[in-house]
Structure 1
């Protein structure tokens, strides 16, 4: 019997154990505990990105090659979707030719779920408008490498409740005794349904998820300060004065001084002088480039989990 394909579309779809297995595998890859080259030998992986990408596209391409797969890369204008073919037909055709497809789209997650019940091709969400699951898996891999554990981690996230923030909320609720504060500008918070879901799931693990809109409403004893750029890839804000709303949520040296034990994380790319001061992201507390490097190790883990 042909083995059923696995997919990474949303963190909601992954069990707590699935999530931990992927993270642990990423940790092992990062520590050089797994020999490379044979895991995906004979597999063909498609890499289809309709939006710009440096880290995610490179990490999955590099990971697939290092695990022995061959890759076919598609740009935003390469497939017949660009001339009007619907994504369902495109995915169905590609599923007859590829073993796996890594996709970044400009649309919602629901576009990718047309392949949900197909068993011939694994599908990996490399970012949609409403979730960035592989970023969170890479981030948690980095956190576990740095702290040795995920349970009990305390995080403050500053900035917009974007797809990276959503992925963090959905992933961190899978671990015990985690505390996460999402400090977001008013009217730029997490989707309310996602926040409610994360809070409900968090209670099962004795974890606390909270959103606040004032920087002064935060605890001072945390492990990680996390931010993302204010303008998520390809998005435009309706309010022309939105920057004034975001300025109090910039991660500055003064803010970091309130958290002497905390490290700094950022999913990159960064705009120094906006969401973070250069002295913070380039300072000794920053692990952003370690975080970026671990994306390739996490990508190996995701690919192996789906296709290995």
Structure 2
């Protein structure tokens, strides 16, 4: 059986990316009925940081695919008594088939755990990137629009790990346009900008970032925001809210894009990054997006243990 790891979207080929997104959308629509490809396997769900959607998505998804799960929180393991992270990872790999982990925020720890061929490792969010959120977002776009190619997305708010995953995923689809409007000093990292720019050159997509809210693009298909206080982080500037205030998503943004749908990775803080009228309004598909985390997680778990759809078509491991 093939063993694959998902630490970053960079770990996926274009074929893998499309296969996971397409399969997730198939689960979401009901066109694909989950079999039990993970029957007889054990999935570890390890979250040192809080989580509602990602933890539930992978737990529920693993059970629906026939796996058994073991859940850990930050106080459960012997790392609290001095065991090294390396030794913990070695033990995990001897007893688990897949590990879904949200750890310290540094993906290097996950990379270290993935340096073996017995257990798949999935990054359930690190400080630099939230790859499974990016896959859920792409699944939601495909499910709602029937395509991803050519979609125009306006992202408003902090250039956090969700924005990074969006930039590294959406730009792999031809004709897509992503415009990021982020507060000064709170944009996506230079590394992400360079990686996304390289993807646009390869795939015929476009990305740009500005630090103001003037001259917004019209007729976008999607308006997306994320909470201003990313889970597990804090901001050193005590006046950061003044910088973020102009980037609140309000109903006024729909004047130039009346057909746009609204996405939010959740949890949401009504009255901060988004108004209640937008989040709970008729253009919001944020809770469909949340549900799609489960469908996407199922596709990720299948891929990690069984390979891509392309492998299946070629008669490879399944």
Q: Which of the five TM-score ranges fits, normalised by the shorter chain?
A: over 0.9
State the Cα distance separating 1:117 from its structure 2 match. Answer: 3.2
Q: How do residues 161-240 of structure 1 correspond to structure 2 at under 5 angstroms?
A: 161-240=159-238
Q: Specify which of 286, 289, 305 is matched with residue 287 of structure 2.
A: 289
Contact conserved, 1:184 with 1:212, CA < 8 A, in 2? yes
Contact conserved, 1:105 with 1:129, CA < 8 A, in 2? no
State the Cα distance separating 1:194 from its structure 2 match. Answer: 1.0
Instruction: Quote the residue 1:41 is aligned against.
Output: 39
State the Cα distance separating 1:190 from its structure 2 match. Answer: 0.4
Between the aligned partners of 1:93 and 1:238, the Cα distance in structure 2 is 37
Between the aligned partners of 1:47 and 1:162, the Cα distance in structure 2 is 23
Match of 1:268, SS state, is coil
CA RMSD after TM alignment: 1.0
Q: How do residues 50-61 of structure 1 correspond to structure 2 at under 5 angstroms?
A: 50-61=48-59
Instruction: Quote the residue 2:103 is aligned against.
Output: 105
Between the aligned partners of 1:143 and 1:288, the Cα distance in structure 2 is 11
Contact conserved, 2:2 with 2:304, CA < 8 A, in 1? no
Instruction: Quote the residue 2:309 is aligned against.
Output: none
Instruction: Quote the residue 1:19 is aligned against.
Output: 17
Deviations 1:208-235 (A, max 9, x none): 1111011113211210000000000111
Between the aligned partners of 1:135 and 1:224, the Cα distance in structure 2 is 16
Between the aligned partners of 1:288 and 1:107, the Cα distance in structure 2 is 25
Deviates more, 1:269-278 or 1:100-109: 100-109
Where does structure 2 lack aligned partners over 5 or more consecutive residues?
Answer: 307-318
1:259 aligns with 2:257: yes
Deviations 1:5-47 (A, max 9, x none): 1111100111111100000110111122333341110010000
Deviates more, 1:230-239 or 1:36-45: 36-45
Contact conserved, 2:182 with 2:210, CA < 8 A, in 1? yes
Match of 1:18, SS state, is helix
Task: Report how many aligned residue pairs link the two structures.
Answer: 306
Between the aligned partners of 1:190 and 1:113, the Cα distance in structure 2 is 22
Deviations 1:120-151 (A, max 9, x none): 00001000111100001011000001011111
Contact conserved, 2:219 with 2:257, CA < 8 A, in 1? yes
Between the aligned partners of 1:51 and 1:207, the Cα distance in structure 2 is 34
1:79 aligns with 2:77: yes
Deviates more, 1:14-23 or 1:27-36: 27-36
Q: Specify which of 68, 89, 92 is matched with residue 91 of structure 1.
A: 89
Between the aligned partners of 2:281 and 2:12, the Cα distance in structure 1 is 35
State the Cα distance separating 1:99 from its structure 2 match. Answer: 0.3
Contact conserved, 1:16 with 1:174, CA < 8 A, in 2? yes
Between the aligned partners of 2:13 and 2:36, the Cα distance in structure 1 is 27
Between the aligned partners of 2:224 and 2:99, the Cα distance in structure 1 is 29
Q: Specify which of 56, 60, 63 is matched with residue 61 of structure 2.
A: 63
Deviates more, 1:110-119 or 1:245-254: 110-119
Between the aligned partners of 1:178 and 1:292, the Cα distance in structure 2 is 22
Deviates more, 1:108-117 or 1:6-15: 108-117
1:130 aligns with 2:128: yes
Between the aligned partners of 2:280 and 2:250, the Cα distance in structure 1 is 12
Between the aligned partners of 2:128 and 2:87, the Cα distance in structure 1 is 22
Instruction: Quote the residue 2:311 is aligned against.
Output: none
Q: Specify which of 240, 248, 257 is matched with residue 246 of structure 2.
A: 248
Instruction: Quote the residue 2:316 is aligned against.
Output: none
Between the aligned partners of 2:224 and 2:77, the Cα distance in structure 1 is 36
Where does structure 1 lack aligned partners over 5 or more consecutive residues?
Answer: none
Q: 1:137 to 1:192 in 2, by over 3 A?
A: same
